[in-house]
Every structure is written in C-alpha cells, then in structure tokens.
Amino acid sequence: MLDEEVIVKHSKNGNERLLIINALLMVFVPMFFLGGNNDISIGLFIAMGIIAPINVANYARTWVEANAHTLRNYIIALLPYFAVLAFTILGLCNPVLKTVLSGSGEYFAIDTSGAGSFVSASINSLQPITLDLVTISAVAYALSIFFITDSRYIIRRIFFYCVSAVAVWTVFGLIYELILDIFGRENLPNFGPGAFFTFPHKSHWSAFSIAWLGAGLTNAIYSAQRFRLKSFSLSLRSLSLLSCAIILWGICYCGTPLERSIAYVLCLFGFFVLVLDTVPTRKNMDRHWMSKYSQSLHKITPRFYVPCAVYTLLALSFAFMLFHTCAKSLDNPNEMLLVNSSDESAITLVQKHSLVNDCLCLVKERPMFGWGAASFPNVFAFKQGGDLGDSVWITPHSDFLCKLVEYGFAGLALSMLMPMFFFFRWLFKCDFSASGAMIFLTCLSLLVMSVLSDPFQCIAAYASFWTLLISAFRWDSATVR
C-alpha cells in the first residue's frame, strides 16, 4: 500500500473514531445527569453537538472518496431545524404574554391583539432557544453517522458500547432501588417514588431503554450464530442478548403497560428472526459456514436444533407475555395500556383525556405556527380545565400534542421533512434486511410512544431516537456489511 493511501485511510479511521466517541458522549452524559433534564447536561449536550459538524467538515476535506457535496448535503439536511430556530427567534420578538395590573396585584394575561404569524408565550427568552439548540445538536450528531461512515461495523460498535452501558446502568439502578426499599426512600437521596436511579421519571427511563433494547436485538440478529457453547458464550450475539435481558428487566420494573408491551413486541420480532436464522436449512448452513466442513446434511443438522428450539421457546414466551399484559391492562378501565394505575405518581386516564381536549383547543387557536417554543406551561394555564386541578402542567404527556401547541403544523412539517426524505430514499432503494427492520421497528415504537406519552421530553431518549433513526437509514445503504 502506498504511503499516501495509508495516510488517507488513517484520516478516515480518525473521523470514525471521533464519531464513536461523539456518539457515546451524546448518550452517556444525559444518562448520567438526570436523563439530561438539568442545565449542566443541557449545556454539555449542546457543546458536544458542535463536534459533529466539525468532524463532517474534516471528513469531507481529507477523505478522497468522500462525496464532493458531503458538507453541502449535511448543511441542507440541517436547514429545516435552523428554520424552526428562526421561527422561535421571530416569535420572541412578538411576546403575547403580558403583565396586567389589577388592584394591588400583578397578573399575566395573553394578548393576541395584533399578533403576527410568529409569537411566543414563554416567560424566559433563553429557554426556547436552548430547546431548539438541543434539537439541532441531536440531529447534527445523528446525521454525522450517515455522512461519515459507510460501514455497518462502525454502527454496530456504537450500538454495542451503548447497549452494554445501558445494561450496566440498569443493574446499578435496580440494586439502588432494592437498597431504597430496604432502608426507606426518606433516608437516602432519590427523586421520589416516580424516579429510577438518575432519571426523575420511570417512563423516561423506559423509553430510553426501549431504544437500546432494539439496538441490542439488532446486533444479535446481525451477528452470526455460534453453535459450540464456549464459542456462543463469548460471541457478540450472546453478549447482546444478555444485555437485552438486563435492559428488559429494567423496563418491566419501570414501564407502563404500553411500554412493557412495546418491549415484548420488539423481543418477539427479534427472536422470531433468530428462529428463521437457525432453522436447519441448507441456506442457513451456508450462511453460517457449516456446510464447508461436511457434505453430510445429517451430521450438520442436529447442531441447529438446540438454538432454534431455544429461540422458538423464547419467542413464544414473549408472545404470551404480550398477550397477558395487553389483556390485563385493557380489562382495567383505569389503564387501557396508556397509564400505570399501580403508580401513585402517574397521570390518570381521565387526566390524559382532559389534557388532549384542552390541548386541541390551543391548537385550533393557532394551528399554523403555534404559541412558540417552551410556551406550553404558560399558555396551557389559561385553558386548563378545573378537572386538572390548580397545579402547573409542564407537559401534555404527549410529545406530538406539545409539538403542535408550541410549533404548529408548520413546525411539525419542518421537523419531519428531513426524516421523510431519507425514508423515501431508503424505500425506493428496495434493499432491506432483517436487522435493519429491527431498527425501524424500534424507531416506530418510540414514535408511537411520543404520540401517547412524552419520551422526548428526556434528552437521553431523544438523542437515542435520533441515533437509531439515522443509523437505520445508513444501515441498509452501507457499502461495508
């Protein structure tokens, strides 16, 4: 190999190594710091997001085989999110939350007289911009996966590191929950009965875990089956499945019936694919490099029986757990999959229904551009029904409704523009794989959760979703497989 080729190859490897480090930081930092829901982690998250465009620019400049328009396409993909940020800034120039003097008191009131297309009902002008910068950082980092690497092995490595870390963190969390149960929550530091370890909300931890449960199952499906016990126990498939089992344990402990059902669906699909992968057919034996050792089908076939039987049993077990969870929850009029009636700190089904109705009233008033970023708690207080009490509602417990209230249909369309373009690009290529389908199913599950709950209020879950979504688009179009 020429010296010039060694230098160039080392340059690309450097970009990919920095990409892996960037991915781990974007996931780990929010996970360690309250799921990302504090000022320190938000600041760090935005700062780490700056690494991605620098890495893409360096990759486009130094890697000779990079597309000539890599940096241009990367910036174009980010433009919709900068447009949303511009809408937010324009809205801050036109605040609709006014102070009104009444007697000896001072009160807030919404004044939409003369309001233009872009408004803001946020009290703090910094918070709306910060939230948009969080989105830009998450998307910029995720897009760097698509533009820098062209190898499934790099994506698999990111998945493996993240899944392993989440599994370890789950173990720590479950141990700490056991300690809290023994010594009492009032005697040890914690975030209350609705929290899990470093996450203030169990539902946010469940959403975060579901993302990496899907990634772990993707690695298991993608990795080759090892038929000797010693080889299997040290294989990537075995380690991935072990991590998935630990993560699933945490989801079952923290999750609502809906979140547990989604986790069972992912596991059911994953093990169904593993069953198909180990059915003793000649095609499977060729794929697993078995037929080259013997020409006798009868000598090879028995090796497939044990893993195929185990995967079949596990798939049937998850099917049963899914059916049992859905039947039990749907039979409870206070749950209907959407809430966990056994959790005293959780929202009730009646409250969720009232939230939806009140939010739709807000959407009808400003359907196109909404009330401005980070404005929901303020503007909702003026529409809040008496059945929701006097306390302030920070979120409508639906990311979809929150997006419509704050950004309107225009903001929602801009947010979906780039993912839809990549989706149709992937669809028209007609190059699909079972492991790629696993990633897409995980992303679809998180999107369903975002309509019925608020997983993306947690930065850790939000960054994980973007990681998986953009990785899915690169996975089936990667050159190195």
- Where do the structural domains in the chain lie, given as residue ranges? 3-475
Number of alpha carbons in the 13 Å side-chain half-sphere of residue 197:
22
> How many CB atoms are located within 10 Å of the residue 418 CB?
18
pLDDT, tens digit (0-9, with 9 covering 90-100), for 98-142: 777 666 666 677 877 766 788 888 888 889 999 999 999 999 999
**pLDDT attached to residue 334:** 82
pTM of this prediction? Answer: 0.92
Angle between helix axes 434-452 and 257-278 (nearest 10 degrees) is 170
* C-alpha–C-alpha distance, residues 23 and 218, integer Å: 17
Long-range contacts of 104-113 (CB under 8 A, 24+ apart): 108/378, 110/379, 110/382, 112/365
Tokens of 252: 């079952």
Phi-psi domain of 262 (left: phi exceeds 0; alpha: psi -120 through 50; beta: other): alpha
Distance between CA atoms of 417 and 440, rounded to whole angstroms?
A: 17
Instruction: List Cα–Cα distances, 210 to 97, 100, 167, 286, 398, in angstroms.
Output: 38, 46, 11, 33, 17
How far is Cα 396 from Cα 140, in angstroms, rounded to an integer? 27
Q: Please list the ranges in the chain whose pLDDT falls under 50.
A: 1-10, 291-295
Reading the block at residue 56, the tokens are: 């893409």
pLDDT for the residue numbered 290: 55
> Can you give the pLDDT at residue 158?
96
Q: 26: closest CA among 137, 169, 191, 182?
A: 137
Cα–Cα distance, 303 to 135 (Å, whole number) = 49
* C-alpha to C-alpha distance for 39 and 45, rounded to whole angstroms: 10
